[in-house]
Chain A
């Protein structure tokens, strides 16, 4: 499901505000830089509003998002693909959505960042493994959760995030991303879980 296809007028400004940086972090990669979206208060507000409008009456009690601060591009993306968002910034979009919908915000992080007891989900990428952690007790069985990220590429990390939530008995209602790279078919890796995006980038 894509807001882009619904032709919401706000999407044009959002898409235009995203800067593409060629050859970052290495030659051949077209990096989708959302920091320029954050420099446009109207576009940032519209982004959050579109997600909030969609989720505010869905009884979501948890918004979970990754910091992605140590995401290793060579592990996740095929070198030949044009792509984006190596540094996912779910931390930026998740909290405003959580605040506006009255949900808790749960950060999902790389190992050694969360100070308390954690559960871990290891996941396989094209070349190697990675690991995502969540605090024990942050999410309870039966809670309805939304997973937010700035971008979906192959879907590997979103899948890991969903697994973490489902392992504690939460129900993942949907995954929500600002940008989708549909050529990488991440949508198909979500085990039938719905995905909502604002912008597609080929």
Chain B
């Protein structure tokens, strides 16, 4: 697992722009709020630049973004590296034929869907979300993409919560994050 180079001066600005909200969505949870990052134009630009610098020129033809905050970071990266953007969504949102992958939550399960035909066998894919916690949703995204024969090159997140060991649920897929929040 790689973390953004802590000596890169942009990282500190990004980390500082993220607001922590205690007890959301429930007591005891410290919620990492990236909406404040989006209000700092330099921090948002730097976030995208750091990902684009890492992934451009690597033959990645698909950026898959996990609903909903993956939709904020994924498209700018896709546009900059000339890749398709493919949304990975909750059930019943995508029109037309989809394939679905179930994943477990703390209590129960949920499903992630992707459009049939959006990604072809052999394509190189980057999966993006704002944050990795337990790795459940990212793991589901990797499995979905694997089922159509695509190769997930890496998962990329702005923030990681390392204590939740999400990295371990990604199988062989590497993880790259900008900020680690212990």
Q: Nearest chain A CB to B119's CB is how many angstroms away? A: 9
Contact B87 A102 (CB under 8 A): no
Contact A87 B48 (CB under 8 A): no
Select which of B24, B68, B75 is within 8 A of A69 by beta carbon.
B68
Contact B75 A103 (CB under 8 A): no
Residue B176 interfacial (CB < 8 Å): no
Question: Which B32-51 residues have a C-beta within 8 angstroms of A?
Answer: 33, 35, 38-41, 44-45, 48
Contact A69 B93 (CB under 8 A): yes
Contact B78 A44 (CB under 8 A): yes
Contact B96 A19 (CB under 8 A): yes
Q: Nearest chain A CB to B141's CB is how many angstroms away? A: 16
Cα A45 to Cα B92 in complex, Å, equals 27
Cα A21 to Cα B24 in complex, Å, equals 38
Residues on B with beta carbons closer than 8 Å to the beta carbon of A40:
84
Cα A103 to Cα B96 in complex, Å, equals 35
Knowing A95-B38, A106-B38, say if A69 contacts B90 (CB, 8 Å): yes
Select which of B45, B68, B90 is within 8 A of A99 by beta carbon.
B45
Question: Which A33-52 residues have a C-beta within 8 angstroms of B?
Answer: 33, 35, 38-41, 44-45, 48
Contact B79 A115 (CB under 8 A): no
Select which of A21, A45, A107 is within 8 A of B95 by beta carbon.
A21
- How big is the A interface, by class? 35 or more
Contact A41 B83 (CB under 8 A): yes
Cα A89 to Cα B87 in complex, Å, equals 10
Residue A128 interfacial (CB < 8 Å): no
Interface string of A20-64 (1 = CB under 8 A from B): 010011000001010100111100110010000000000000000
Q: Nearest chain A CB to B114's CB is how many angstroms away? A: 10
Residue A135 interfacial (CB < 8 Å): yes
Knowing A38-B84, A69-B93, A99-B76, say if A106 contacts B39 (CB, 8 Å): yes
Residues on A with beta carbons closer than 8 Å to the beta carbon of B72:
91, 95, 105, 107
A–B pairs, 28, beta carbons within 8 Å: A21-B96, A25-B95, A35-B86, A35-B87, A35-B94, A38-B84, A38-B85, A39-B85, A41-B79, A41-B82, A44-B78, A48-B79, A67-B71, A69-B90, A91-B68, A95-B75, A96-B76, A98-B38, A99-B44, A102-B41, A103-B41, A106-B35, A106-B38, A107-B35, A115-B21, A115-B31, A116-B33, A135-B35
9 extra interface residue pairs, beta carbon distance < 8 Å, beyond A35-B94, A69-B90, A95-B38:
A38-B87, A45-B79, A69-B67, A89-B71, A95-B73, A95-B75, A98-B44, A99-B45, A102-B41
